Amino acid sequence: MKTYLYMLLLSCLPLSAIAQGFSVTGRVSDQTGLALPGASVVLKGENVGVTADSSGSFRLRAPGPGTVLVVSFIGYQKKEITLDGRLQGTLQIVLAADLGQLAEVVVSSGYQSIAAERATGSFSRVDQQLLNRRVGADILSRLEDVVPGLVVNRSGVVRPGAQSAISIRGQSTIFARQDPLIVLDNFPYTGDVSQINPNDIESVTILKDAAAASIWGAQSGNGVIVITTKKGKFGSPMQVSFNSNVTLSERPDVFYQPQISTGEYIDIEKMLFERGYYKSAENSDAKIALTPVVKLLIAGRDGKLTSEQVNSAIESLRANDVRNDYRKHLSRTGINQQYSVGLSGGTAFQRYAVSGGYDKSISSLVGDKSSRFTVNATNTYLLFARKIELTTGLYYSNSTAFQNALDGSDLNISAGKPLYPYASLVGPNGEPLKVTHLYRERFLQQASQKGLLDWGFNPLSEIERADNRIRATDYRMNTQLTYRVTPWLSADVLYQYLNTVNQRRNRQDQRSWSVRDLVNRFTSIAEDGSLIRPVPVGDILDISSASAAGHNLRGQLNLNKQLAGGGSIDALVGAEFRKLDTDGYSSRYYGYNDQLASSVQIDYLTNFTSFVNPSSKNNRIPDPASLSGLADRYISWYGNATYMLAGRYGISASARLDQSNLFGVRANQKGVPLYSAGLSWKLSQEKFYKLAWLPQMGLRATYGYNGNVDKTVSAYTTATYLGANLSGTGLPYASITNPPNPELRWERVRMINFALDFKTKGGRISGTFEYYLKKGVDLIGAVPLAAQTGVSVLRGNTANTKGRGAELSVSTHNLQGGLRWDTDLLLSYAADRVSRYLIKPTSVASAYLAGGTLVPAEGKPLYAVYSYKWAGLDPASGDPQGYLDGEVSKDYTAIKSSATLDGLIYNGAARPRVFGALRNTFEYKGFSLSANISFRLGYAVRYASVDYGSILSGAGGHADYSFRWQKPGDENVTHVPSMPLTENVARTEFYTYSDVLVQKGDHIRFQDVNLTYSFSREQNKKLPFGSMQLYLYANNLGLIWKKAEGPLDPDYMLGPAPPKSLALGLRANI
């Protein structure tokens, strides 16, 4: 009997031990209910624990009652919770913010969210509060001046076709796309970024070095911008948020570019007339238009008007300046309205967020306006005892833009010749007036007498008759399924479908000048006097569309585990497939009837005689029809891991292998893995660290490779096919655009990054300093080939670049208490240069001065300013002087033909190398005043000046004409050359590209100021809302200082700076 009792007792012991253990499920959040993914939950004294997932949830097993959980998260106070073993449901753990710790909490790479304290890479996070400081309809404009290393490039050095002017840490490619990769809710976003509603954004993370961005592989060489939209909060009652604002912007400054006065323009026309310049135009078969002053002078010459009548009429025109009419009738105060409403909340097992936005903009250019409607909805469900998390998302955006405004070229009197400055767009009673445009008036009268359509040009009526609209639609659907295998291991499956459609519909009314001109130019007169019109009278409808459909599928395993001995590991491994199909077409319909949706068939293959110039007999009716399509396929494998030991030492590694149908099988088989490695050391946690005034200091270092892809080249032979209607022979033809290159591979960008993080005692001063080195290898460049190959130049992986830079971000709390004063300083330095390029230009001057094809120069930045060396003006003639073989010379043709890169003056980079911002914020009793000053240093700009080719052709010119050399001695007070008797192209070109016109672009700008008043229910319990903010925002306030002389803004050499704007808004949470 005793034996059986002993056996029973022994069998009960393990059961009793098991019964004492129990499972704990919980969620970690901040005081607002926001989840804290990556929070550490450890069993006190045992160094065993887990890490909270993306929803802040965790699950572990406690050994028994009395177990103490230690919950910690960077930026929050550590919390200990004693378990009694009777826990029912989910344990809700709320951590209080700790102002003495780092403010940056969680950074997102698009693959994972990780606590900043565990990150070795270079991340910059912009939270919702900082994003909302600026007012605007797009998200990218809100990132300027708030992220170190990020700059918006201006001054005409943005490659055409770029989606944005943003660059991160300088130049990383030569011919490939320069835009940063945009990641929206974990997936690359290939749509128009302007379609994203900023009010839907929770935070933005910028990935800048290899450790941060290499997880995105061959798409990350230009940096990565990770955008995370708002999500609901578990266990939170429904929150209603509302934001509304209206922005007023000034009219464009039509007087920004300095031009010669109307009186000077007229005097030049009189001088040219006396020289007989307009004789050829008078006798031209092309019926070239003549200005009113020239027509008056001809009438006086031919005796149709007396000299007194001519002079009186001309003098009456001197007081006119057509720019006044531009300002009054072609521009207006811009108005932008923005509305957004959001609902969010959740239960213990579900969270949701739904928002809608509407934007309406009336442009400062008459005829342009736009609107945008957006909807964003996300839902997350916790299923099967929180072992499964299901998230679904839907995003819809629809925008319409009307682009009916007139630009300068629409008003040209002839090709390349602007409208004369004494023109009037309206009459004395406000009626729209016709102006001279392309053809002379007598020819138009004769054509009208023969029955042709009225050929007159009335600018203001053209705006009313225009109907050019663009409609953009974006659909985005995504879902994520997470299965929690164990408390520290989970599996994700993510899918996204994206569809974007951009349609342009330009209906040109039959009364518009462009339609009347096209009909008349192809009209011929039969022997019986009847009119033959190959182009029918009626509207012309142009339709074009560009659409993209993308699928992304990703599978990923995540490991987040606290290890024995105080270590922790965050790791992931996965694979993804990406498919993107783009299609485009354009078509034209002549004789279009909008009510019947009908059109007329057109003969595109026959050559017609021009009515304007009967000697021109090979004219075909324009046919802009086209079809295009592109299929992109990507397969990738990736992995990333971060290990922390004792909370002080961190090591990270990542790797990714990309394959694409852009490259041949041979290139893909080679495989070009992109990888990174990083180290971090919290120096201030060492026992030997004794700096009491600097209680927090950490070091980071990373090394690795990012990638780029140039989609204009392929491993396969590619050709462009053109139809018979576009061929001079009447036959279809094709041309090879890219010869085969089976060795083609990804561009790679190596980056080494060093970082120092610090914070003084009490958190009064905190910041980060980073220094990096970049090297672009296997960049797409041009290489010469032997003539017998049939191809003179091949584009392949032949170029290299080098770069380096530094970034400093410092935040200070200058005053605390009733009056709070905070300062944020951003200071960045970025320099890059081409280190290897095999093609040398045949004409140095054309390549590096005259704006020809981009030809990189070894040892110099890709975008640089070069000039001829200036030797002053000739005291006797006022001619510009340069140097030829070391001697002062005026042989401009020889100076150009003999120019070498070493012989040119290198004035500096065309993009700022030093840039940043200083933001001061003052808070007092609910009021907040924030002012931002930005600066750009270390770059050169070329100023425009007089072009005598333009002046001597009667096209007007720069206001420097007033300061031209006119007599000996003027060379001591001006650098503007004398006006020659006839145009000398080489002379003008030498002066235009001489270093006398180059100045430093360095400047400091008062960018914006924000005034906000906040009040909440905590201040007044009777308020029907949780919080409300009234804000006033002024933007583009102007220059404070610039190094260069002259009236122009160095950042806006080609056109006026954005006008000043003022926004008034209301933001509320209920």
Adjacent-strand bridge partners of 493? 481, 555
Q: For 262-282, what is the mean pLDDT?
A: 93
Q: How confident is the model at residue 12 (pLDDT cuts 50, 70, 90)?
A: very low
**Is the confidence at residue 554, as pLDDT, over 50?**
yes
**Is the confidence at residue 669, as pLDDT, over 60?**
no
Which residues, in sequence order, are CB contacts of 218 under 8 Å at separation 6+? Answer: 658, 660, 672, 674, 707, 708, 709, 746, 747
C-alpha triplet 383, 384, 389: angle, nearest 5°: 35
**pLDDT tens digits along 134-179:** 998 889 899 999 999 999 988 654 444 444 588 999 988 888 888 8
Q: How confident is the model at residue 1029 (pLDDT cuts 50, 70, 90)?
A: very high
β-strand pairing of 113-115 with 106-108: antiparallel
Q: Are 328 and 1023 in contact (CB under 8 A)?
A: no
Higher pLDDT, 130 or 8: 130
Q: For 809-817, what is the mean pLDDT?
A: 94
Residue 686, token pair as written in the block: 């060492």
Answer positive or negative: Cα dihedral of 787, 788, 792, 797: negative
Distances (CA, A) of 827 to 146, 151, 806, 810: 10, 11, 8, 9
Question: How far apart are alpha carbons 270 and 278 in whole angstroms?
Answer: 10
**pLDDT tens digits along 37-62:** 778 888 887 767 788 877 788 888 88
**Is the confidence at residue 962, as pLDDT, over 90?**
yes
Which residues, in sequence order, are CB contacts of 1020 under 8 Å at separation 6+? Answer: none
Residue (of 165, 166, 149) closest to 212 by Cα position: 149
Q: Are 948 and 983 in contact (CB under 8 A)?
A: yes
Question: How far apart are alpha carbons 538 and 526 in whole angstroms?
Answer: 21
Answer positive or negative: Cα dihedral of 934, 105, 655, 390: negative
Q: For 541-562, what is the mean pLDDT?
A: 95
Query: Dmax over Cα atoms in the chain, in whole Å?
Result: 145
User: DSSP secondary structure string, 592-619?
Assistant: EETTTTEEE----SS-B--SS-TT---B
**Is the confidence at residue 1016, as pLDDT, over 90?**
no
pLDDT at 712: 78
pLDDT at 552: 96
Question: How far apart are alpha carbons 535 and 531 in whole angstroms?
Answer: 11
**Is the confidence at residue 725, as pLDDT, over 80?**
no
- Indicate the domain borders of the chain: 22-94, 106-235, 262-332+406-426+433-449
Q: Is CATH 3.40.50.300 correct for 106-235?
A: no
Domain 22-94, architecture per CATH: Sandwich (2.60)
Q: For 1-24, what is the mean pLDDT?
A: 46
Q: For 1028-1034, what is the mean pLDDT?
A: 96
Q: For 652-661, what is the mean pLDDT?
A: 89
Q: For 1033-1041, what is the mean pLDDT?
A: 96
C-alpha triplet 256, 261, 263: angle, nearest 5°: 165
180-194, 822-836, 993-1007, range with the lowest pLDDT: 180-194
Residue (of 171, 154, 46) closest to 862 by Cα position: 171
pLDDT at 736: 76
**Is the confidence at residue 405, as pLDDT, over 50?**
yes
**Is the confidence at residue 191, as pLDDT, over 60?**
yes
Adjacent-strand bridge partners of 631? 581
pLDDT at 268: 95
CA dihedral 605, 611, 617, 620 (to 10 degrees): -20
**Is the confidence at residue 105, as pLDDT, over 60?**
no
Question: How far apart are alpha carbons 929 and 623 in whole angstroms?
Answer: 57
Query: End-to-end distance of the chain based on CA atoms, in angstroms?
Result: 72
Question: How far apart are alpha carbons 155 and 135 in whole angstroms?
Answer: 24
Answer positive or negative: Cα dihedral of 891, 892, 893, 896: positive
270-284, 568-582, 998-1012, range with the lowest pLDDT: 270-284
Average pLDDT, the chain: 88
Q: How many of the other CB atoms lie within 10 Å of CB of 12?
A: 11
Q: For 273-282, what is the mean pLDDT?
A: 90
**pLDDT tens digits along 583-593:** 999 999 999 99
pLDDT at 92: 86
**Is the confidence at residue 295, as pLDDT, over 90?**
yes
| Strand extents, DSSP E, 602-744 | 626-645, 649-660, 674-681, 696-708, 718-722, 733-738
**Is the confidence at residue 1013, as pLDDT, over 60?**
yes
pLDDT at 6: 41
**pLDDT tens digits along 444-498:** 999 999 999 999 999 999 999 999 999 999 999 999 999 999 989 999 999 999 9
Percentage with pLDDT > 90 across the chain: 63
**Is the confidence at residue 266, as pLDDT, over 70?**
yes
**Is the confidence at residue 790, as pLDDT, over 90?**
no
Adjacent-strand bridge partners of 582? 548, 630
Question: How far apart are alpha carbons 673 and 706 in whole angstroms?
Answer: 9
Per-residue H/E/C for 453-486: CCCCECHHHHHHHEEEEEEEEEEEEEEEEEEEEE
Sequence-ordered alpha helix ranges (H) in 327-451: 441-449
Q: For 404-413, what is the mean pLDDT?
A: 86
The alpha carbons of the chain give a radius of gyration, in whole angstroms, of: 34
88-102, 190-204, 600-614, 793-807, range with the lowest pLDDT: 88-102
pLDDT at 714: 77
